[in-house]
Every structure is written in structure tokens, then in C-alpha cells.
Amino acid sequence: MKAPSESTASLVLQGKVQPRHLDRLAIVYVRQSTLQQLEQHRESTALQYGLAERACRLGWPRPRVSVIDDDLGCSGASAEGRPGFQRMVAEVGLGRVGLVLGFEVSRLARSCRDWYHLLEICALAGTLIADSDGVYDPALYNDRLLLGLKGTMSEAELHILKNRMHAGRQAKAQRGELFFNLPRGFVRRPGGEIALDPDEQVQASVRLVFDLFDQRRRARLSGGS
């Protein structure tokens, strides 16, 4: 079977992107799961921001392309704690969005509950969804089926990753090599022993905290107390 030609793919795309979509916003949703990923996976973040240019190539004028990056450093396991995702869903529900772009489904949601909620609202509002593979119309059965499969795979991938990380921690614990970050003021010596930080100023600060706690019976100081 021959792959669809570029001209055929262009005709299909033109059939999905209508003037009514272009009259509304194109929202680019950018997310990284942790602050560590944000620091170490800069190329991934840059690729997600680059989706704004793709929206322009699809026909949206640049002033009508909005980037939502409020959720950098937030897990996609749930919509809770993701103000950017919630704002995007609200904008779609108000009929202001013609296209939602994410680099892949896992950037938008790793929970089928949140994913299908977004699909339903997009279908009702006439909003398209795009990822690195293509542009989809959630109101069309075949597109919705494919998007549903992608969402299921994304949720399953999160479950697999969690199990893999848990198994890794268990293996380290069995070998006696599982360590956690120490509280401020303590260091781990080369032999594995835990000791106070050799910096005398750090030691004095830690002792001051405990002394104040003994006096006030609380660790947090409020103004005027």
C-alpha cells in the first residue's frame, strides 16, 4: 500500500482546518513533568515552544497563537495542580479556541479521565487537536478513536514508568544503596556516615532554629510575634 502523497495529506488537512477555526485562537500547551526535566531536557521544552511556528504554518496569524506554559514542572497525572491545563479547557469551553497543540498526548494529559474530558469539550466546541503526528478533529469518529488510543497508551506508559522506578528503588534498598536527600545542615561523609555540616556558620544557623523552636514551640516566625 502506498503512503498518501504530500498533496493528498494537504487536501485532508485543508478539509479539517476551516476559516471558523482560524478565526479563533490556536493554543500551544507546554509542559514538563518536573523542574529537573525542565533543567536537563531543554531541547524538549524548545521543541514544544516551537509548535507556535507550526500553528502559523497551519494558517493562524502569530498574534492569534497563544502559548500556555503555566504547568512547567507539573505532572500530567491529573488536572489538579495544573492551572495552565484548566485555563486551556476553560478557553475551549468558551468557544475561543480553534486549535490545541501539544508535542504529544502525554504533554497534554496522562490521565484518561482528563484526556477524554478535553476531547469531549473540543468536540462540542468544534476545536481541533494537533500533535507531532498530525491534526485531528475530535468530532470525527476515526480521529476520536485514534486520540482515545493515544490517551490510553499515555496513561499506560505512566503506570509502566512508575513500576519501573519503584522496582529500581527496591533493588537499591536491598543492596543498601538507597539514599535520600539530607536535611539542611547535614552532610554525608565518603564512608556513608551522616554528620553536621563542617561549616560553623551552617551549624550555628541550625542550632538557632532548634533553640527558637524550644522557646516558641513552632518553627515558623510571623511578623510582629
CB 91 within 8 A of CB 75: no
Task: Say which of 5, 10, 33, 106 is annotated catalytic.
Answer: 33
CA 24 to chain centroid, in Å, comes to 24
Instruction: Report how far residue 105's alpha carbon sits from residue 35's, in angstroms, rounded to the nearest whole number.
Output: 20
Residue carrying the nine cell digits 500551544:
28
Q: Which amino acid is at 48?
A: Q
Does residue 33 carry a catalytic annotation? yes
Q: Is the dihedral of CA 117, 121, 124, 129 positive or negative?
A: negative
Do strands 135-136 and 128-130 pair parallel, antiparallel, or not at all (unpaired)? antiparallel
Instruction: Report how far residue 104's alpha carbon sits from residue 131's, in angstroms, rounded to the nearest whole number.
Output: 5
DSSP H helices in the chain: 6-16, 19-22, 35-40, 42-49, 51-57, 83-93, 105-108, 112-125, 141-175, 200-216
Q: What is the DSSP letter of 43?
A: H
Instruction: Report how far residue 148's alpha carbon sits from residue 196's, in angstroms, rounded to the nearest whole number.
Output: 53
Among residues 140, 94, 87, 85, which one has the least CA distance to residue 114?
85
Instruction: Report how far residue 100's alpha carbon sits from residue 88's, in angstroms, rounded to the nearest whole number.
Output: 9
Do strands 194-196 and 135-136 pair parallel, antiparallel, or not at all (unpaired)? unpaired
Which residues participate in catalysis according to the annotation?
A: 33
